[in-house]
Copies of this chain bind each other. A is one copy, B any other.
Amino acid sequence: MVPTLIKDLLSSKPESQKVTVCGWIRSVRDSKNLVFIQVNDGSCFANIQLTFDRNSPSPNANVNNIEEELKKLNTGASVRAEGLLISSPASGQAVEVTLESLKTLGTCNPEEYPLQKNKMSMEYLRTNAHLRARTNTFGAVYRVRNQMAFAVHSFFQERGFQYINAPEITCSDCEGAGEMFQVTTLSMEKIAELGVKAGAGGMKIEDAHKIVDYSKDFFGKKASLTVSGQLEAETMATALSRVYTFGPTFRAENSNTPRHLAEFWMIEPEMAFFDLDDDMDIQEDFVKYLLNWALTKCRSDLEFFDKRIQPGLIESLEKVAKAKFVRISYTDAIAKLEEAEKNGAKFEFKPYWGCDIATEHERYLTEKIFGCPVMVFNYPKEIKSFYMKQNDDGKTVKAVDVLVPGIGELIGGSEREENYEKLLKACEERKMDMSNYQWYLDLRRFGTVPHSGFGLGFERLIRYITGMENIRDVIPYPRAPKLADF
């Protein structure tokens, strides 16, 4: 029979009713007459306390059984316990369970259990990623991650968006948004063999590439993992009006930093009939919705992060959830940064009109200048993508980035260029191979509409909401250079 989750037991009215508790031991405190066992099942931050009073056990308690089982219990062992749910006389918890019977499902040898140590570094836990969900920190991270994923879906479903799945394997590349992983069923060992054979037979080096025959590859051509589902999302938005993706995307960049993953989840909404202002409105609504959801539904997990990971976290999230986001043009933002520099602000990279706004600039804008989230819009076209709608000034495009304190850029979006000729010209200027993008141009040939969209990296969001420092610690199994364990 399926046991009740501990989060549901903890919110039940204690009426001495019989309950079953299943979970993993967090601690056992066995003093002379009283035994306290903390059990956690990951359904919430809190443990439930099992109590066994040797002087006055529960009338139905199987005392011999309990004493036998107690000998097997260590941190990490799993149990099925039965007892009565009563209101707890001790502070710190509303209810507890007086033990009637106890069964050790799985023991946990303290000599071997990797989570025995008192102080475990994040690095150490990463090497035990298959077990780290059993710790306070990672249980909380994964519960927040779960709540945020459902918040994302709820936000868009409430607003008439259709969830769509962009392909993971692709032969186009979203204009080199990043380095790509190749996906293949060709055998590299076989290619090496064919090379050695051909070399022995006198093949010239410059002909070696002929050995690689993509017509024999699974898809009949060279294929890669997607860096973004945006272009495909646009095809769906220009039929279903409002759509969003939420799926994995990939970057093969050799970035060994606490802010980069090779595999990460992206949320990419795309909205027909939305201009840049509409886009900014919904981005602001979205961020606030997510923060309010976290503040309401993940309260005890956030309290843990606030206490142990990033002091002040809750207050800072609450502030952003209530703030009116500042909207400022790139041109004005650069002027503010130049002025700040004149007045003594120190930047690694000098800000000037035309520069990419670096993380240090983003954070200076949102943390120092405005003290609240900032939406910077109308960027120079040279530093942005081909698909962004061109402004009449001939210099800027209708792009927007949302900057938040502590993180910098959280969201990047734009109105898309819906004019066929202008889009074609932007592609040509960038010397793109248009044969891969005819389908994308078709959207501008047949019933084109103004439309906008944006992208939010899910792990960046989780990092922001939990205050966790390293992005590798907000996804169960991080992938990064030289890292693909489990």
Contacts and interface: CB of A to CB of B under 8 A. Distances in A.
Contact of A232 (B25, B242, B446, B476): B476
Interface string A342-384: 0000000000000000000000000000000000000000000
Given A185-B181, A278-B2, A22 B273 contact: yes
Contact of A157 (B150, B232, B235, B475): B150
Contacts of A8: 160
Interface of A is mostly: mixed
A479 B218 CA distance: 10
A192 B166 contact: no
A23 B241 CA distance: 8
Contacts of A78: 447-449
B219 A192 contact: no
A393 interface: no
Contact of A236 (B142, B150, B165, B166): B142
Interface in A413-442: 418, 439-440, 442
Contact of A205 (B185, B193, B444): B193
Nearest to A244: B146
A163 to B, nearest CB: 5
Q: Which of A163, A250, A273 has the most CB of B within 10 A?
A: A273
A437 B272 CA distance: 47
A171 interface: yes
Interface stretch (A82-90, A220-228, A465-473): A220-228
A150 to B, nearest CB: 5
Interface residues of A, number: 133
Interface in A261-287: 262-263, 265, 271-274, 278, 281
A439 B484 CA distance: 13
B221 A165 contact: no
A168 interface: yes
A407 interface: no
A195 B8 CA distance: 63
Nearest to A249: B168
Interface stretch (A56-64, A118-126, A207-215): A207-215
A335 B80 CA distance: 38
Interface stretch (A28-36, A91-99, A128-136): A128-136
B195 A199 contact: yes
A78 to B, nearest CB: 4
Contacts of A172: 486
Interface string A458-486: 00000000000000000111010111111
Contact of A239 (B42, B171, B263, B483): B42
A46 interface: no
A76 interface: yes
A152 to B, nearest CB: 10
Ranked nearest first, the 9 interchain pairs of A and B with the lowest CB-CB distance are: A195-B195, A199-B199, A106-B448, A42-B240, A133-B239, A196-B199, A219-B484, A78-B447, A192-B211
Given A23-B241, A138-B239, A196-B207, 10 more contacts: A130-B235, A150-B157, A168-B263, A169-B479, A171-B484, A179-B185, A189-B212, A194-B195, A196-B203, A218-B482
14 contacts: A24-B447, A105-B447, A106-B446, A130-B235, A131-B442, A134-B238, A139-B240, A165-B476, A182-B185, A188-B188, A195-B196, A195-B199, A196-B199, A235-B476
